[in-house]
Amino acid sequence: MGLMKILKVNTAAATIEGAPQMVEKHISERTAEEKKKENLDNVAKDILYKTLDKNMFAKIKTCTIAKEIWEKLTQLCEGNDQTKENKLTIVIQKFDNAKMKPGETLAEFDERLSGIIIELISLGKDYSNREIALKVMRALPREWDAKTIAMRES
């Protein structure tokens, strides 16, 4: 069973200061809706398990509830504040140092730069379209100078 417990008022016990005492309902007393709610943790765990590869599953297999799995995955994927800051610094450097490689097509460069921008956005750093366009123009090789000048003037 998950974390959710279905409770009922304990009519056999006296109330303390006007508040009724609650006890867990026996499984035979539960309605279909209550059984469904109680099973939500299992459903959530099943969804999480199905999305993980073998390596990630090995890291969370000791977790017992969905919330614990989610927190462990968050820690593994995002890290703490210091880890996030380090990741952001590295990705900003990748963005700043991105240049079109010799023999690379514009489509390939665009795909590579888009990947870096997606990483930046996921870490909370966002660049305007103008900043990205200027970066692309600065990253192009010298043979593109005539085109970049024309783009800058327009």
Q: What is the mean pLDDT of each run of 10 residues along the chain (154 residues)?
A: 66 66 80 82 91 91 91 83 87 94 91 94 89 88 77 72
Count Cβ atoms below 10 Å from residue 113 Cβ, excluding itself. 19
DSSP state of 154: -
pLDDT reported for residue 97: 94
What is residue 1's predicted lDDT score, i.e. its pLDDT?
A: 45
Q: By the 8 A CB rule, do 88 and 125 touch? A: yes
Torsion sign across C-alpha atoms 13, 15, 16, 20: positive
What residue segments make up the domains of the chain, in order of their start?
Answer: 1-35, 39-78, 81-153
pTM here?
0.51
**Residue 3: per-residue pLDDT:** 61
Q: What is the pLDDT of residue 13?
A: 67
The predicted structure's pLDDT at residue 27: 78
* HEC per residue, 65-105: CHHHHHHHHHHHHHCCHHHHHHHHHHHHHHHHHCCCCCCCC
**pLDDT for position 49:** 92
Q: Is the dihedral of CA 65, 66, 70, 76 positive or negative?
A: positive
Contacts of 85 (CB under 8 A, 6+ apart): none
| pLDDT value of position 151 | 72
